[in-house]
Structure 1
Amino acid sequence: MDIQWYPGHMKKTRDLISQNHKLVDLIVELLDARAPRSSLNPIFDDVLGDKKRLFLLNKSDLADPSVNNLWLDFYQKQNKDILLMNSRSGSTKVILDKIRQMNAPIHERMIQRGRKIRPMRMMILGVPNVGKSSLINRLAGRASARTGDKPGVTRGKQWVRLGKDLELFDTPGILWPKFEDNQEGIHLALIGSIRDEILDRQSLALELVRRLIKDYPGVLRQRYGCEEEGEALVIMENIALARGAILPGKQIDYERIARILIDEFRGGILGRISLERPDNGAVESTL
């Protein structure tokens, strides 16, 4: 299953980042905790160089908590600054404290050189639909950025003031021109970073069923009351029967059951599920 998506506006976003990253003191990069490797955009390494970065594993409440801990340990062993977060609820104090801590040396240099103290500036980056706008709204304490559940809602560039001492440069979500590994495309599609309209949702749902059976046995049985033995397609058809995804003539509505499965995974209804582990423990695609 080969998935590629790089619309023209993403090239403009790359140029925007390249032209403006020197204006900021810190990069805040959001990753999806369910797929940290696939949501780590390689473009940023090329464009940002050695710019100081804080990584936030967002949507950690939707990911397997034991796998979250593996990822934290993995990044910390590489001396990366990283925090777990849920952009929809919970306090932002830990995030703001970490940002101020990382920016403290710059603030101290301003004082030593007798310069006027200016707000610390940061740029927030991530793949589409990773939760940047929701985080900004909470950091700012108001609905300052447009939010939505579709990739590509945030457009253009904007500065957001966070209190007296912080300014944030927001950018639209961006992918990269070609996924070298088809697993990247599958994971990004499952977490909602690629527009559903271009996807083969039925094949994507089948891949999800295969992975759940292997990595999280019992999840489908508990949610839908269906046995998990046999081919993924048969299991998906049994789920369709259980959920009433039936067309006239008692035919399976494959598109509808595919949407149900994908949406319930994305919304955490199926439970806390991770697609990747630091040890490359993701299920190999058979598509």
Structure 2
Amino acid sequence: DDWQNFALLVRRLVTLHGKDERRTWSYSPAYLEKAACGFVGLTVGVSPNIGFLKHTDLETDKGILVNEHLQTNLPNVYAIGDCAELRQVPAGRRSIEAIWYTGRMMGETAAYNLVAEDNRHSSFVIRHSYSPGIWFNSAKFFDIEYQVYGDIQTQLPDNQATAYWEHSDGKKSIRINFERESGNVLGFNLMGVRYRHEVCEKWIREKAHIETVLQNLGLANFDPEFSKQYEAELVAIYNRQTNKNLTLKQKRGLSAALEFLK
């Protein structure tokens, strides 16, 4: 059944045309796009593999349903990671998040609450709620590092604007999304450039203005010591687009970043 469902999903998403590899086309009815391809690779992403729990008393939907303490409907049973589905979804998050960072944070929460369960006969028991905070993720695509902090959507909403720089080699880019009206920074997306999670998160949490962030952007950079910095190029692009005259006031440096995070 699982393979039949997979085949049905593939048929819905992609249709291949052509008699040989040199004339292969992919077509997606959902997006009404047609593109010539020399090679078509399909992945289905990550979905909870919970079929073995079908005949148990655990309540499930797409994943194993848990409350804010990561408890299931059964006493003393917890679920975490990419098989856990939150009943109450925190703002800006998803009910199932298949990344190892959330699994780690869930593990910390569940461990604390399991200890609380062991002390449940005491008169005062405090349980922790799972609170992942501002979205973040990082990965590596072959030799290109990728980072995202905050709200970066595939299609830029009408109420948002973006500051974007891309290297001529196509392997490095910096994107900062912000509210169009207020200028408050909403998210960062980096390719091939390393930015400090704590610095970006503080800017987002404190609703820093895009121009304040741009002028101090070096605080976030933690590329190797002698590598080139590109923050000034992004500031120059922003100046051209807005007729401003901002300058980069802060370059890369650990001591300055630590001082900022105090």
Shorter-chain TM-score range:
under 0.3
Provide the TM-score with structure 1 as the length reference. Answer: 0.25
Larger Rg: 2
Provide the TM-score with structure 2 as the length reference. Answer: 0.27
Comparing both structures, which one devotes a greater share of its residues to helix? 1
Comparing both structures, which one devotes a greater share of its residues to strand? 2
